Amino acid sequence: MGLLVGTDSSGAQSWTQNYGNYAGGTGNYDGYTAGGDWIYNECWGIAKSYTDGTSTQDGYVLACGTGIECENGDDNVSECSTDWRSNWRAMSI
């Protein structure tokens, strides 16, 4: 799960929002339900978004990757190794 945290001007946390672990997709991912806690999201970019044609900020856009990191010895290694999400995909939120 990805977690975005907002802060106020003093640095105190003012809000949080979880993102990621989405169900479905196309091709091999069609019909997938949301995965377990072994589905990871790693975000590397964030930008403010604006209402069309104005300077009013209305949210954020995140650039991320989503997938599985299967580790030997994990409880879910057999399920993880057969899950198509072991192929990481780009994800924009």
Q: What is the DSSP letter of 32?
A: P
pLDDT value of position 93: 81
- Rounded Cα distance, 36 and 71, in Å: 14
Tens digits of residue pLDDT in 25-58: 888 888 888 776 777 888 889 899 998 878 898 8
Total domains in the fold of the chain: 1
Length of the chain: 93
Q: Are 70 and 87 in contact (CB under 8 A)?
A: no
- Over 60: is that where the pLDDT of 6 sits? yes
Kindly report whether the global pTM for this prediction surpasses the value 0.75: no
Q: Are 92 and 61 in contact (CB under 8 A)?
A: yes
Residue 36 structural domain: 2-92
